[in-house]
Each structure stands twice: as C-alpha cells, then as structure tokens.
Structure 1
Amino acid sequence: MIDRKLAAALRRGIARSGPAFLLLAAVGCDAIDPTRVNNPRTTDEDLAEAADLTEALLPGLRAQFARMINAYVVAEVITDNYSIHGTGIPVDLDEPRRVTPDYVNSTGTSVTGVYWNVQELRALADFVIDEVVPGDPEAPPELVAEAHYYRGMSFLTMGEVFSYAPHEEDGAPQPSEAALARAISDFEAGAGFGLQAHAALARAHRLLGDAGAAAAAANAVLSSAPDFLFAPSYDEELLTNTPVAFLVLRALQDMQPLPRLDFLDPKYTGRDSAIPVAKAEEMHLILAEVALASGNVATARRHLASAITLAGERGTVFFDDIDERRNADLSLRPRSSEIVVRADADSPFRPGLVADRPGEGLAVPNVSATSLRADSVGSLASVDELWHSLWLARQEILFLEGRRLADLGIKLPMMLREIDQNDNINEGDPGTLPIVPPYVPDNPRYAMDIYTPLALYDGVDPGAPLIETHVTIHVDMNRVLVANDASPFNR
C-alpha cells in the first residue's frame, strides 16, 4: 500500500507526464506494446489501495525510453553520417555550430526533442525510484533494477549529448561528467536487469576516460554473451520508430547518408523496426580502443577483427527501396553500384559502398555492418592506420545508433524552454551554446557532408544516365579524429 500523500503525488505525476505514464500494461523488455487504461478516472483512494504500482508503471518508463532513443538516434543528422534534404528537419542542424537552443526546443521524438525526452525519462524514473518504490514493499527487484537502468540511460544520454544540464526540475546545470557519474551509479544498481546495464557501464566509463572500468564492463558482457544484442522493438501503430519517417516514409527522404555510407542505409525499414541499444560489437570496439591507447597493438587488432567479424554475421533484411536519392534541389545523389568512393582526396577509391536505387529486394543491414574486413586488420602498417580503422568501424558498425555525435566531440545546448524558465540559467551560461571542437570544419557550409562532383547524372529525371563514377568526400572525419587524438582514453 502507499499513503495518501504519495497517491496524490502519483496522480500529479500521471497528469504531468501524459501518455508515458498512462501505458499501464506490462510488456516484455524486447517490445513496446502499450495498451489503453480501462479507467482513466483514478482517484486518490484507488491509488492508495493499489497493489503492484512499480509493475504497473514500468511500461511507461519503457515507452519513454523508446521515445528518447528515437530522438537520440535522429540526432545523427548533425554529424557527417547524414545530410538533411526536405522540410521535416531544420537544415541548419547540418551545421553543428548553428544548433542553438531554439532548434532543440520541441517535445517530439526527432532531433529537436532530444533534450526534452532525456529529461522526461529522468523525471519519470526519479518518480518511480524515489517515490513509488519506497511505498511498494512488494516491488520485484528485477523491475527496480530495470527502472534504475532507464534512469541511468537518461543520465548517460544527457552526459553524452549535452555539456551541462540540470538533474532536477529548475535545478542548477551540472557538467556532463556529473551526469555520467549518476549514470554509473544507476547502472550498478540496475545490474539485475541484464547485460545491457553492463554494456551501458562500459559506455559511461569510456566517455569518462576510465580505461580499466570500461574494459571490465565490456569483458563482463562478452564473457557472458559473445553475440549480445539488446534491441527493443517499436509498435507500428502506437509507438513507432521515428528514423523510419525520415529514411523511408516521407516523399522526399529527409535523411540522406554520406555516399561512402550508402550501403548501410536505411538501417530501419519499418515502423516497428528495432533499434540496437547495446551489442557485443561495441564492447569489442571499446576494448580495441583501450588497447590502442595503452600501446597494446596486438590486442587492439584482435578486438577490432572480432567486432568486424561479428558485424558481418548479423545478417540483412530485404527491402523494396523507392528512394530516388535526391538532394533538396531534386538533383540526384550517388545511387549506382558503378560508383566508387574515396573518403577524401588522399584516400583510394573503393567499390561496393553505393547500392543501386531505387530497387526491389535491396539487402540492408539492420544491426551491424562494415566495409572493413577482419583479415585486413593484420596488414595495417601503423598505429595511426589502426586508429583510423577503429574510428571507421565505430562509425559504420554503430551507424544510426546515436554514437557519432559524441565521437566527433559535439555537444548540444539545452532546450530554450529550460533556459527561459529556469532561474538558475541565463543565456550564455555553460550548456546554453553548442560545443563543437575546432577540428570540426565549418567552411564551406555543410563541410562534413560535401562530396564532388555534384553532377553525377545527365539531368534530374529518374532515368538520367550516369556520367561520373568517381566520388570524393570533402573531408574524412575519421582521419581528423586520428590527427586530434580524439579518443577519451587519450585525454
């Protein structure tokens, strides 16, 4: 039982949080399957007598977690992975230094809502853990652990994506390191939820530059499940996969991949497509990075090769792709397997990176893939080449899973509403402006997304013939990351 004061707080929490707290049917952690509430006119007396409140509220946390992951993943449009074409996403988000608080000021599940969804998940998890669980002595430990995992994920995403953010309503903004420390505490408390908590620990420790702790957590995952994958599904009617709208469903697909990443797109093909949140490949990549940073080249090669091998075993889905690969001005982008691409003017041209589109039965990876080969890792002649392969592997294997923003060192500002309403925050304070490392180019505009030549086809009609087959990317950001020792373990 819970007391009346807590019941009143619970009702306020439901009213304030909206649909996320109205999803009161228990669902498996591998699916989002919300159902309606039979009696929305819940009274204080009902709640005071309610049993199994923790269990009843977990679906709301699961749903909000799914919403946050949606927004977090779409934020990759700010990086070199995608460029923006269409009206569904503000085009200024293609330039990280232009991402001001008014651009991330929505409550939706696209990139513009990432801040709100992070804070909403944190607030809902706070409520369950700090208010509901203490008054629910029968709360199953595994569900309490799950709630800690979700709160940990809110803090992990907060620390990864934002430089400063408050940890409570109207609180003073805290640095990203503080958010990551909070995440670690919750993941330790949430270890009973499964290996995904250990995988998240590895990510948090990596971002803090703690090589020993990151390696321990990554090894814990791999020793228990060498092919581990945690990828919650979505519901095609009630809680859909947001990236699919921009990759597949809209008439002009707003998110277009960098040409050398074309073979990975679209990673998600249906409204119910699962989004990988944690997987063994990332653990191998973290261990490879730890080894490289400590000078252990042999171990780095072994883990990098293991990540590449496992990525190649994940398989593909078949998809009828109607995407004509058009820019916003309707000119045609690379869309033929005859095209070869190089990462910059100093790199070799590589085949096999661009698929034929539109096309029926297109095979696309829905978990992991990479253009690297495991047997080629051993032939890399220098440590810098290994670092380059590591950054490329992270970019490709973790494609459209949200990591690229942090890998580039970019952090977004808080939403404008937070700045305007929180008395502890003023314009110009830490966290109110984007943080973009000086090595991220801003000249010319959209520098990370540019390739040449632009005129690859003789015209813009769907059947226009291909006239240029060699494409050069303006800048290889993986080479830039190597040159700037961008690994958290090198700080």
Structure 2
Amino acid sequence: MKKLFIYSALSLSLASCSMDVVNPNITENSFVGTSQSSEIWLAGMKKQLANTLNQAVVFAEIVSDNYYNNSSLTNKVFDGPVLLYSDVDIDNTQRAIARLREMGTYGIERIVPADKGATATAKAEMLFIKAYAHILSGELFVALPMAANTEAVSPAVHFNEAIKLINEAITTQTDATLKNGYQLALLRCYYNLGNRTEALRIANSIIQSSSLMVRNAVFDGLNGASNLQQSYTFSNSTNVLAPLPRLDFLDPKYYHVGNVNTDQKPLAILKSEEAFLVAAEAYLGNNQLEQARTTLKALINDVIAKRPTAMVDAKLQLRKGIRADYPVASATRVQADAQSAAQSKLVLGRLEGNVKVNTVSGTSVTIAELDKAETVDQLLYLLSLIRQQVFMSEGRRMTDLGIRFPVSQIEKLNNKKIDDAFTKAVLPAYIPTGIAMDDFTYDKANNLVVIKHDMNKVLVANKTAPNVFPMLK
C-alpha cells in the first residue's frame, strides 16, 4: 500500500500539466533517482491510464449510437450529440489525456535516466503509454497540443508521434508479449492515417502470430481507480447507460460478482480482432472481396468464437431510467431500421435467469451472412457492424462515426496559440441529431423493436466522407 500512496501523491497538476509534486512530504528531488522510482512512476502512469479511459470511454460511448444515458448521473447532452467546447466533460477528457502524456514525458526524460535500476521494460512501457495518449488525442479530438502551451496539431501529427514512440518502445522492450501488443498500437496508428500498405502488412503479421492477443487496462476499486464503464452499465443500481436494443446482447461486458470494489473488470485497449478488421477493410479498399470475406470468417471462427463468456445475473439491468420502454425479454425481435428484417436473439432475458455475456468480443454476424454478401458495400456493412460490436463498451465507436471533440474552452482561454477553428466539434452532416441515433420504437405486445437509424448503413452510404473507413481512401 505504501507504493500506491507514493505514486498517487506524485500526480500531475490538473490545471497546468506541470510536474509539481502535490504531496508536501515528498519533493521531486527526494524522489527522482531513488530505488524503484521508475517502477513506481510506471505504476502511477498505469493508474492514470485507467482514469483517462474512465473519461474517454464513457463519454465516447454516450456520444455514439452504442449507449443512451438513461440517467442523470453523467453528461446529458452528448447523446444529442451536442459537443460544445465549453462542456466540462470535454475539458476533463482533454486534461486526462494531457496528464497521461506529460507523465510519459517526465518518466522517460527524468525518472528513468536517474534510476540506476530502471529496466528496459519500464522505459518501453512508458514510451507505449505516452504513445497511447497521442493515439487518444488523434482519435477523439479535432486537434490537441503536443505539449503544454503549444499550438494544437492535427490528428495525423499525433499518430505520427505515436508511431515514433511505439517504434522506440519495440526496440527497447525485451518482453515478447508486450512487444506484440505494441504492434497492435502501431497498426491502429497506420489505420487512422489511412496507410493501407503498412496497415495491411502489420495486420497480416499479427493475424499469423498473435490471433488471441489482448492488452488490458486494469482498475482498482480499492484505490480510487474503478472501472466507470462497469459502474454505469452494471454495478450501479441506477440504470445509467442503456444499450441500443440491437446491441443488448453485448451488455454488460464488465460486471462484478460479490464485492464490487475487489471485482473490477479490465478494459481492452488493444486486441487482435482489430488486425482482422483492418485487414478486411484494406482488402475491400483493394476491391479484393474474397480476401475480405475470408478474413472476416476467420475473425468470427478463430477469434471471437474462442473469446471467453460468462453467466451473469442481470436482474438489476431493467433499463428503468428516463426512458423506461427498453426491452428486457428474450422473445424480442429487433429491426435495424424500418426497412430491415427483424432479428431474434439480440435482446437478453434479464428476468429469465442468468444471461450469457461476451467478456472480450462478440458479434451477431454469421458466416452465412458473409457468404451472401455479393458487393463491396454489402461486405463493408457487415464489417462495420462487426467492428461496432467487437469494440462495444471500449470507446471506439465515436471515432468510427467520424465525430471528434473540440479543443476545450479552458485550453483556449489559457493558451493563446489555439486556433479558433479547433473550438468547433467535427459533427458530420450524416449524423442524426436530437438523440435520434439512440431512438427506437417498441411494440411490446408484438415483441418488436424498430431502430430509427441503422448507423452502419449510414456509414456505408457515406464511405467517402473524411474519417470514415480510412482503408478505403
């Protein structure tokens, strides 16, 4: 517990991202260069990673069509989606990412060089976590500074900086498993940059060598780092977040049994599923339909089908919040939109006993559906749906929809180098507003739900838009 106290005390200043030590009993000079200082600092970075994800994941899920905020316990305008630079949650997300980035910089430049016992693994992990902060910067925001009080730069600059850091981490790291995980982070950068050649090369390498790899962020409910997505989807008795009914079978991904503080589930920040999805999208960009189909089949059969599941008592997940008409019966059929056929087995029977949940990845897409797809657009639709389902509750869908947060007002007021253009969110014209992405009708007498908008269909129709399907460009 002493180590936890020390690294918690060495947190960064919220307002300035400076490295001032806030614990009066531990000064910078008394800590830097001490035995195990690099390991202690790395532990603090991992805790900050968990806390950063608590901001990024929850809010990105609310913005997307994955979840509706069915309570008053968190942001009520993101469902709109209304994304104003004055929103405190946007500022908190930006601060959390900046803190993680600056912790990485300080650890690499100050802590590791002064610690005679610093290991290659510790330095490589710091490089990786700092790179992950840049990945989040590029995926979630229109632009962000690379350091305190500097101009905001484009997502591409952040992704390229992440690539540089990851490559150094790969060279530094001696642990083969961790090094494989870094390859997934590298893939994610090249995917976001639209570099089809490099993305496909790395994706195929991962597919051949590490098809069931997962890199998790871990949470600690006893020491101030609980999994907030777990709380909002399961552990909190208030029905905070309710999934779109066609995604109900994937909720909860995180749950607790017994003491909630000691049973905090991890959150995947990288997993091999991404390699298959990126490769399939790249093949479609090359008009290679059969290669894309084969890759998606392998994803379902060789990865998703082998991921763990659990039986969970979900009787408290009755979705009785602001909107009380969520289906909770297994007999419910769901139409993706008014023009789509109704599907069964997408809604779990919350009152019918324990429900089976996917703890890493799941999908409703079948091999038969992949075989029936005859065009690029038909396969792209199924790929988009699988991608949505695989990354459910992991904060990735907002980015895939082409939505980006603006630079926060507080950053703008305190940093004169911020361009006014970056204080506006990216909200593409094809995104329905007025909570329409989360809307549906429910005919309880006939057990039928009709989703208002099939956003995967919308994405395919707008596949040439910026930030959508980068492997097709």
- The answer, yes or no, to whether TM exceeds 0.5 is yes
User: 1:463 aligns to what?
Assistant: none
Of the three residues 259, 276, 296, the one matched with 2:288 is 296
User: 2:3 aligns to what?
Assistant: none
1:370-409 correspondence runs (5 A):
370-409=363-402
User: 1:448 aligns to what?
Assistant: 437
**Alpha-carbon shift at residue 228 of structure 1 (Å):** 1.1
Of the three residues 444, 449, 455, the one matched with 1:477 is 455
1:395-474 correspondence runs (5 A):
395-425=388-418, 429-442=420-433, 445-453=434-442, 456=443, 466-474=444-452
Contact kept in structure 2, 1:119 and 1:154, CA below 8 Å: yes
**Alpha-carbon shift at residue 64 of structure 1 (Å):** 0.8
1:203-222 correspondence runs (5 A):
203-222=188-207
1:282 counterpart = 2:271: no
Q: 1:49 to 1:260 in 2, by over 3 A?
A: closer
Q: Name stretches of at least 5 consecutive residues in structure 1 with no aligned partner.
A: 1-9, 23-38, 457-465
Contact kept in structure 2, 1:172 and 1:425, CA below 8 Å: yes
Contact kept in structure 2, 1:380 and 1:386, CA below 8 Å: yes
User: 2:239 aligns to what?
Assistant: 253
Q: What per-residue deviation string (whole Å, max 9, x for no partner) do you get for residues 204-225 of structure 1?
A: 1101100111122223323322
Of the three residues 190, 205, 210, the one matched with 2:169 is 190
1:133 counterpart = 2:112: yes
User: 1:333 aligns to what?
Assistant: 326
Q: Name stretches of at least 5 consecutive residues in structure 2 with no aligned partner.
A: 1-6
User: 2:50 aligns to what?
Assistant: 66
Counterpart amino acid of residue 292 in structure 1: L
Q: What per-residue deviation string (whole Å, max 9, x for no partner) do you get for residues 383-428 of structure 1?
A: 21100000000001111111101110000112332122112236xx
Q: Within 2, Cα distance between the matches of 1:180 and 1:15? A: 24
Counterpart amino acid of residue 452 in structure 2: H
- The residue matched to 1:101 in structure 2 has which SS? coil
Q: Within 2, Cα distance between the matches of 1:407 and 1:44? A: 41
Q: Within 2, Cα distance between the matches of 1:250 and 1:77? A: 16
Q: Within 2, Cα distance between the matches of 1:245 and 1:194? A: 31
Q: With structure 2 as the length reference, what TM-score do the two structures score?
A: 0.88
Q: 1:360 to 1:419 in 2, by over 3 A?
A: farther
Of the three residues 227, 232, 237, the one matched with 2:222 is 237
Counterpart amino acid of residue 383 in structure 1: V
Q: 1:340 to 1:332 in 2, by over 3 A?
A: same
Contact kept in structure 2, 1:156 and 1:183, CA below 8 Å: yes
Q: Within 2, Cα distance between the matches of 1:311 and 1:299? A: 18
1:140-151 correspondence runs (5 A):
140-151=119-130
Q: 1:45 to 1:425 in 2, by over 3 A?
A: closer
**Alpha-carbon shift at residue 40 of structure 1 (Å):** 7.1
Q: 1:478 to 1:41 in 2, by over 3 A?
A: same
Q: 1:172 to 1:248 in 2, by over 3 A?
A: same
Q: What per-residue deviation string (whole Å, max 9, x for no partner) do you get for residues 148-171 of structure 1?
A: 100000000000000111111111
Aligned residues with identical type, % of pairs: 28
Counterpart amino acid of residue 441 in structure 1: P
Q: 1:165 to 1:377 in 2, by over 3 A?
A: same
Counterpart amino acid of residue 254 in structure 2: Y
Contact kept in structure 2, 1:133 and 1:139, CA below 8 Å: yes
Q: Within 2, Cα distance between the matches of 1:446 and 1:247? A: 19
- The residue matched to 1:321 in structure 2 has which SS? coil
Q: 1:40 to 1:253 in 2, by over 3 A?
A: same
1:489 counterpart = 2:467: no
Contact kept in structure 2, 1:337 and 1:352, CA below 8 Å: yes
Contact kept in structure 2, 1:256 and 1:325, CA below 8 Å: no
**Alpha-carbon shift at residue 279 of structure 1 (Å):** 1.2
User: 1:320 aligns to what?
Assistant: 313
Number of residue equivalences? 445
Contact kept in structure 2, 1:14 and 1:21, CA below 8 Å: no
Q: With structure 1 as the length reference, what TM-score do the two structures score?
A: 0.85
Q: What per-residue deviation string (whole Å, max 9, x for no partner) do you get for residues 271-295 of structure 1?
A: 5111111111111111001111111
**Alpha-carbon shift at residue 42 of structure 1 (Å):** 2.8
- The residue matched to 2:112 in structure 1 has which SS? helix
Counterpart amino acid of residue 70 in structure 1: N
Q: Within 2, Cα distance between the matches of 1:225 and 1:92? A: 40
Q: What per-residue deviation string (whole Å, max 9, x for no partner) do you get for residues 254-282 of structure 1?
A: 11000100000111113511111111111
Q: 1:99 to 1:315 in 2, by over 3 A?
A: same
Q: Within 1, Cα distance between the matches of 2:343 and 2:158? A: 41
**Alpha-carbon shift at residue 137 of structure 1 (Å):** 5.2
Q: What per-residue deviation string (whole Å, max 9, x for no partner) do you get for residues 178-217 of structure 1?
A: 1111111111111224222110111111011001111222
